[in-house]
Structure 1
Amino acid sequence: MLRSLREALPKGRSVPSFAGATFANSVGMGIYYPFSLLFFQSVLDTSLTGIGAALTVSALLALPLLPYVGRLIDRFGPRQVLLVSTTVRAAAFAGYLLVDSLGPFVVLSVLVALTMRTEQAATPALAKVLAEREEGDAAGRWMALSRALFNAGFGVGALAAGFVASASPEVLRGVGAGNAVCIAVAALLYATLPALRPAAPVAGAAARERARPWRSGPFCRVVAAGAGLWIIAVSIETALPVHLVRGVGAPAWTASVLFTLNTVLLAVFQVPLAHRVERVRPAVLVGAGALLHIALPGALAAAGHLAPTARTVALVAAMAVYTVGELVASQALLTLLTALAPQERRGAYLAFNQLFIGLANALTPLLVTSTLDRGADLLWWLLSGCALAVAVLMTGALRAAAAERTPPGDGAGELRSARPEPTATT
């Protein structure tokens, strides 16, 4: 098994720094996210409603800036942009400790939201560039490693913060400082990576057309699929505890067990599974993974009609199936997004994708709360319909790609062929 895992891992001199930066960053986020509202309340001494409104406004204000972020990635390279964004985000989290009113808090929160979206756009671009430079390609392995380490680090950070907060609630103000330190470590590790030269811009009318991500039908299909799956993930994360505890009457530990199972499976199986399915068409994986997403909303809809033991078994099994779907679909989406984006415009394309991810992230809580007020079954039906729509979208994309005879590098063909190239170890 260890040999199989070693074969699945990416190779190259930059792997330790890339992996270490991802892990340090995710540990900081794990420290921060579970206690963020409590941390902000301890700093600002204001209502949770006010803090929530400020965070939503900040997230929406950051979105129009993302196209400029994409241009910066294309002009200076993803490594340089990541170095700056992590440094700014570390300073912003440290700055939270000094604010005492909502005005400065919103300014810092805009910076945090913008840099987080920047990192989610630049990290796959960096993985793609490093893979091409050090392995010829195999970008899928680099991105799988990044996702696996993010989930592992997030779990470690959340667990550590939970133990510390349980022992001494007064340390909540240290949440921001701990996150800032972890992000600063990530910035230092990014600084050790080679300064890669960005791809030279292509001139002419065709280049101007390629600079507009919304003109690429195949890329927009993948963006829509990713936004749909993101809506499902955020909705599950938000609604599951509320539904189980208040709607079904299940013990609170049930939600904790389900989320822990999800995190462990994502951390342990992301890299091996990505290696096993790297020869499968990414669009097929996205469609199949979307269908597997339906298992959990279905089990949650049935939870109230089951006995406690049967309910727990059904939910655990459904979470395992859902997580497998998340594993294969999320990995394939990243592969498609980086493969469909022109090399010299990869930053602009990935930033365009983050625009819709950010919008879904900002508006999904409103969808969840409004539907839960009308009955949880409506939410589970909507999420199942969303997963089915993603699967249908990918099926249509495959048919369109098969029907078109496109020159190499054109987006439609990539829906059919985009995947990491096999290396000597496969």
Structure 2
Amino acid sequence: MTAPAQGRARALLAACLPDPGDPRLLAVSWLVKTVGSGLYLTTSTLFFTRVAGLPVHQVASGLTAAGIVGLAGAVPLGRLADRFGPRRTYTVLLGVQFATMAALAFVRTFPAFLALIVVFLLAEQGSTAARGALVATVGEGAERVRLRAYLRVVTNIGITIGAAASALVIQADTEAGYMALLWCTALTYPGAAVPLWWLRARGTRPAAPAAHTGSGWQVLRDRRYAAVTLICGVLSLQAQVLSFAVPLWVLQHTEAPPVLVSGIVAVNTVMVICLQIRFSRGADDDSRAARMCRNAGIALFAACALVAFTGGMSGWSATVLLLLFAAALTFGELWLSAGSFGLSFSLAPEGMHGQYQGFFSLGRGAATAVAPVLIAMLCLGDRPREGWLVLGILFVVAGAAAPPALRVRPAAVARTVPADRQGADGERTAR
């Protein structure tokens, strides 16, 4: 390879990787964690039903109940990240997830399964908040959004690797294989903690004693942040459209070949890996991030309109429209991810990213909880074409509400003031 070609190759590699140091260490940790997620998502239900011997309805009800409990822990666990430092909190929660995942390998009764899965999903919800706060400590402004975009790419890569690795185990369908895979999943949690020990980012240690004004639950009074969380939560229903609605729609309502389900997922994954970083440029500006959410609503409406007319079409016509649907849905996902990255960071006060990121995760968590019922009722019922259009209108209305939501006046936010910078009378400044 010539010297100019080597230079171009190095430049391309640098553009595809986070900056050296803390960003790259965080990306490595994220990759290990999401490989475990790919292993777990594809095989957990099979393990609990085929190996643990639990009925499907018990597994489903246990996961639902644990998911609801997990949502309740988002803000309190996020506050722990603010108080004790996001790195320490995240590392401890990874340890909790390792212990509970390892214990799940020995579960054979529903009460034991329920108890462990509640602890596991509580720790997962807290990990989400602590990871968000950790991203905030590694960079500022545009750096945060860019790093978060990289990490979303890493998420897709990691889950794809995990899902591919589990394919052989699923094909063999043996108890030993599922048990080994669950243990491998458990080991990814301490594996993800290892790179965190070398982080040097500001804020990875607990803050020095400081005076605060206002409540430690400040996020619960921040109406603007609550509005943005609701908007992004509604738009995040698109994730369940891909994972829940698409397989059932393609197989039961169209003449398209069943393999197209995998094709749609592949289109989505490849587009996110290739385009997420580019789509996230400029999302550190609040107005531009809000417009990205508006664009997401329009793209998701277009996706719903396309899929609405595939029912009853010939195989080739349905296939073409469904591939266009996959592209439109992914454009909506790319804009939504970029806009939500920017707004979730920039609208949160410094020093409170843990509780704010925990609160922001409630939007997506609530959407995940209600999506199966809502999508089944609208899009898989007796009048699916009208249902898809209603869902599309919901997306476009939510997206259009993002720019006006920035004009909502937030509650006064406390500013942390180091003790040595307070006046003689102990006056505290507020933001």
State the TM-score, normalized to the length of structure 2: 0.85
> Percent of aligned pairs with the same residue?
27
Partner of 1:121: 129
Segment of structure 1 superposing worse, 345-354 or 269-278: 269-278
Rate the CA distance shift 1:113–1:315 in 2: closer, same or farther, 3 A. same
Deviations 1:29-74 (A, max 9, x none): 1111122211111232121111101111111122222222021011
Match of residue 157 from structure 2: 152
Deviations 1:190-231 (A, max 9, x none): 233237234557645xx3158422322321121011211222
Uncovered stretches (5+) of structure 2, i.e. residues with no partner: 1-7, 416-431
Residue 47 and residue 250 in structure 1: after superposition, are their counterparts in 2 closer, same or farther (change >3 A)?
A: farther
Deviation sequence 1:276-295 (CA, Å, 0-9, x none): 76667111111112211123
Of 102-111 and 118-127, more deviation after overlay is shown by 118-127
Equivalent positions of 1:293-308 (< 5 A) are 293-308=300-315
The corresponding residue for 1:208 is: 214
When residues 409 and 248 of structure 1 are mapped into structure 2, their CA distance, relative to the original with a 3 A threshold, is: farther
Counterpart-to-counterpart distance in 2, 1:277 and 1:362: 28
- Asked if 1:332 is matched to 2:347, the reply is no
Counterpart Cα distance in 1 of 2:210 and 2:291: 32
Which structure 2 residues correspond to residues 17-416 of structure 1 after superposition, within 5 A?
A: 17-132=25-140, 138-170=143-175, 171-194=177-200, 196-199=204-207, 203=211, 207-208=213-214, 211-275=217-281, 281-371=288-378, 372-398=380-406, 400=407
Unaligned runs of 5+ in 1: 411-426
In the alignment, residue 262 of structure 2 is paired with which amino acid?
S
* Partner Cα separation in structure 2 for residue 406 and residue 96 of structure 1: 43
Contact 1:5 1:272 in 2 (8 A): no
Give the AA of the match of 2:299: L
C-alpha deviation, 1:4, in angstroms? 5.9
Distance 1:258 1:166 in 2: 22
Q: Structure 1 CA distance, aligned partners of 2:207 and 2:349? A: 10
Give, in whole Å, the separation in 2 of the partners of 1:232 and 1:7.
29
Instruction: Show CA shifts across 1:211-260 (max 9, x none).
Output: 42232232112101121122232133201111110122432211111011
Match of 1:421 in 2: none
Could you tell me how far apart the structure 2 residues matched to 1:211 and 1:51 are? 34
Partner SS for 1:303: coil
Larger Rg: 2
- Which residue is 1:416 aligned to? none
Q: 1:9 to 1:71 in 2, by over 3 A?
A: same
The amino acid of 1:77's aligned partner reads G
Which has the larger displacement, 34-43 or 144-153? 34-43
Q: Secondary structure of 2:199's partner?
A: coil
Residue-pair matches, total: 402
